[in-house]
Amino acid sequence: MQELSSDIRVAVIFGPDGRIRPVWFELKRRRHDVRTITNRWRERRGAIVQWHFHVTDDGALFELMFNPNDATWQLLCIEAL
């Protein structure tokens, strides 16, 4: 498992019930389609509530984090499957 902390571009569906679903993201100029969302949870950091997602594409598990304060996404870790 490789721990990272890099800003990434993510295509997201914001659902009517406040649900967030990442659909694809870019890593090193390659597009990764999200096949499954394995887990999702929220963490409070001071006043900010960050959204965490464990997602898989066809070859790896990724942790994505959404910061609603500035609407940015970060890739936190990767594990090859």
Partner 1 sequence: MERIILHVDMNAFFAAVEQQSNPALRGKPIVVVGSAARTVILTASYEARAFGVKTGMRVFEARRLCPQLISVPVSNRLYAHVSAEIMKMLADYTPLVQVFSIDEAFLDISGSLGLFATPQRIAYLIKSRIKTRFGLTCSVGIAPNKLLAKLASEMQKPDGLTIIRPEEVPAILQNLPVGELCGIGRQTSRQLALLGITTCGQLAVFPREILRRKFGIVGDQLLRMAQGLDDSPVIAAADEEEVKSIGHSTTLAQDLSDRSAISVVLLQLAEMVGRRSRRYALAGRTLTMTVRYADFTTFSRQTKQSRPLTLSVDIYHAALKILDAIVLEQPVRLLGITLSGWDAAGQQLPLFNEDGREQRMTAAMDSVNNRLGDFTVTFASLLDKLNKGSHVISPAWRPEGVRHIDMS
Residues near partner 1 (CB under 8 A): 1, 3, 38-39, 41, 43, 52, 54, 56, 61, 63, 77, 79, 81
* 12 vs 40, beta carbon nearer partner 1: 40
Query: What DSSP string runs through the chain?
Result: -EEEEEEE-EEEEE-TTS-EEEEEEEETTEEEE--EEEEEEEEEETTEEEEEEEEE-SSEEEEEEEETTTTEEEEEEEEE-
Please, what is the minimum distance in Å from the beta carbon of residue 16 to partner 1?
Answer: 25
* 29 vs 37, beta carbon nearer partner 1: 37
